[in-house]
Amino acid sequence: MIPRTTTVGSLKTYRYNLQRSAHTMEKSQTTVTTGRTFNSFADDPTTAARSFQLRRAYLRTSSQYDLNESVVRKYEVAYGAMESVSKTVDTDEESVGSAYYAILRAQNAATASGRNALGQELTAHANDLVQTINGRYGDNFVFAGADGLNVPFTWEAKQNPAYDPDFDPDNPPDPTNPPSKAEIAQKTSRYLKQDGTVTNYASEAGRVLCYRGIPVDTSDPDELKKLDYYSNSEKKYVDIGLGYDMNGGKVESSSVYDIAMQGVNFLGGYGTETKTTTIPDPNNPDGTIEVSFTLPRNIVTITERMGAILQNCSSNSGTFASDMEEAEFDLLAEQFEEASARIKDKHINLTTQAQFLKTNQQQLKTNADSINEQIEAIDYVDPAAAISDFIFAKYSYDTALKVGNSILAQSLMDYLSF
């Protein structure tokens, strides 16, 4: 039996189909006008989630790119500073204007009358080195490790280790044995002058190079511990897209990048070394005597000390103030060469790091482009396909309208004639 098709039924079915056709056309139209393959989570939940994941990856990569760029700039500033430092401490004999050139001249000059001037030049070099290494990138000191807000290297007044703030000359600890004037001066003076005498005036005091408040040529174990920490352990990691990961509550060091540049490492180091040499001694049968010197490792304090020795030379003859000072100068020259070598290593290392950062920068850009392409692929429609779909949907809709126009046109009613 053929199902009965009625006028009312046909109208309802037509109305439903027309609605569907209009809906399909509207969807196609939205796709064409927005250019998106989906416009809500409900359209395609899985792809929408994937799309947001890709967008997150894109934003993260962009943010890592920006950070990497900032780090690259910082390294460029650091590299520039180290270029200047390297020139100053260059041990090439032909390097005119370098500190080493001045040292050689002081050592080998036929006439030594210029040693005072050379001493001043070395002192100036020491100052220059400190100024250079204290440079900033933006608001931060580049070579301050993780303490970028504070100037890393400072010249501090030389403290008098015998100073006792509680010492009262009028009430000595042992009244039966009153202190001498010299003892009183020692205990009541805060500073030491450059020549080792005491003073209470900071302006008269000698100067000590400090890194983040710690004298770089200290031999105090507590202070050395701090410098060891700064030099070897203190890190300032940033996430520049190396696969940030945590391990046991700590960030995995290989997944981040350490941007803490410790100035003390870039100026030859810190602490002291003891070296031994011989100096003339007429009292000994062989005419010499062995003497030891505690020598700084930091190139600034080396240079500073050498400058002081040269300035201590006779202004007339240029001879060293003593055999001890001459011997110390020679040993300091060796120290200078060794420190210079360490600085060159650091400079080369810095170059390598800067190169890595630039490569990483390129990689991040490539990654961002790749993610962008993926987003384009899953989020956005092929215009040709979208327009074709729309045209087809519109064709269907137009056809449906055409059908509607004639659906009620013909029935037996129209042929009745009485």
Partner 1 sequence: MGIGTFGSFTQARLAIYASQTGLTVTGNNISNVNTKGYTRQRLDLRSLHSSGADRYYSSTDVRVGQGVLCTGVSQLRDPYLDIRYRSKMAEVGAMDVKLGGLEGIAQVLDEVGKGEIPQGKDFGIVAAQFEKVYEALKGITDQTGHSEYDVQIRSACEALAKQLNAYAAGLQELYDNTVSSYEKDVTEVNTILKNIRSLNESIREANIYGDNALELRDERNNLIDQLSEYMKINVDYTTEEIGLGVTVEKLIISLGNANPDASIHTDTSVLIDGIYGAQFSINPVLNPAAYQYVDEFGGLTNDPHKAAKVPERNPDSLLDPADPDYDGTNLWMDKDGNPTDVEADANLVLKQNDDFVEADFKDGLLYLKANGAKTASFDEAAHDSNFGLTISELRDARGRLDNIIQKFQEQLATEAEYQASGGKAVTVTDPVTGMISVTTFRKEVQPAVRRNSDWNGEYQYVTPGGRGTNDPAKAAQIPVMNPARDPDAENSEDNPWYMDAGTPPAPTSVLADAQKVPQENENWDPDDPNCYRYFEADGTTPTNDIDAARYSKVTYYKQLYTKSPSHPVTLDDNDLLGALQSERELLTECGEFSQKDTITGRGPTSDENAASKRGIQYYQKTLDLLANQFATQFNMANQGVLTDPDGNLVTQVWDAGKKKMVSGLVTIPPEGGAGSYQLSKKDMLSNREWDMSKVPAGAKQWLVDNGYKTDDGDADMMAYLKADHKLLDTDGNVVDGADIGEKAGDVMVRNAFIGGNLFSNNGDSDSDKDPPVTASNISISYEWSKGPMIVNSFTCPPGEFIPASTDSENILENMTSLFYKKLEYRPDTLTDGARSDSMFSGTFEEMWINIGTTLGDDMKTTTTLLDNYYEESISLDTSRDAVSGVDFNDEAMNLMMYAKSYNAACRLMTTIDSVLEKLINNTGVIT
Residues 8-37 that bind partner 1 (CB under 8 A): 8-9, 12-13, 16, 34, 36
Q: Residues touching partner 1: how many (CB under 8 A)?
A: 78
Q: How far is the CB of 93 from partner 1 (least distance, A)?
A: 40
Question: What is the C-alpha to C-alpha distance for residues 66 and 212, in angstroms, rounded to an integer?
Answer: 29
The amino acid at residue 244 is Y
Question: What is the C-alpha to C-alpha distance for residues 125 and 236, in angstroms, rounded to an integer?
Answer: 30
Q: Kindly write out the interface string for residues 89-128 of this chain, putting x where it contacts partner 1 by CB under 8 A and - elsewhere.
A: ----------------------------------------
Torsions phi, psi for 153 (to 5 deg):
-105, 130
Q: According to CB under 8 A, which one of 32, 104, 124, 146 is a site residue for partner 1? A: 146
Give the tokens for residue 79: 């590299």
Q: Kindly write out the interface string for residues 285-314 of this chain, putting x where it contacts partner 1 by CB under 8 A and - elsewhere.
A: ------------------------------
CA distances from 253 to 80, 236, 259, 298, 355 (A): 27, 10, 12, 28, 19
∠ at Cα 205 (299, 134), nearest 5°?
40
Give the tokens for residue 293: 């010197």
Q: How far is the CB of 128 from partner 1 (least distance, A)?
A: 25
39 touches partner 1 by CB under 8 A? yes
**DSSP state, 231?**
I
Q: Kindly write out the interface string for residues 56-75 of this chain, putting x where it contacts partner 1 by CB under 8 A and - elsewhere.
A: x-xxx-xxx-xx--xx----
Q: According to CB under 8 A, which one of 101, 112, 145, 210 is a site residue for partner 1? A: 145
Q: According to CB under 8 A, which one of 18, 22, 32, 43 is a site residue for partner 1? A: 43
Query: Which residue lies nearer to partner 1 by CB, 290 or 376?
Result: 376
Residues in Cβ contact with 114 at an 8 Å cutoff, skipping those fewer than 6 apart: 105, 106, 318
Q: According to CB under 8 A, which one of 81, 99, 148, 318 is a site residue for partner 1? A: 148
Rg of the chain in Å (alpha carbons): 41
Contact stretch for partner 1 (CB under 8 A) within 54-62, 94-102, 104-112, 385-393: 54-62
Give the tokens for residue 64: 């890592």
Q: In the chain, how long is the greatest CA-to-CA distance?
A: 159
By CB under 8 A, the residues from 303 to 362 that bind partner 1 are: none
Token pair 């303490």: residue: 147
Contact stretch for partner 1 (CB under 8 A) within 133-141, 280-288, 320-328, 343-351: 133-141
By CB under 8 A, the residues from 222 to 281 that bind partner 1 are: 222, 225-226, 229-230, 233-239, 244-246, 249-251, 256, 259
412 touches partner 1 by CB under 8 A? yes
Strands (E), 341-388: none
Question: What is the C-alpha to C-alpha distance for residues 319 and 310, in angstroms, rounded to an integer?
Answer: 9
Give the tokens for residue 219: 């031999």
Query: Which residue lies nearer to partner 1 by CB, 182 or 413?
Result: 413
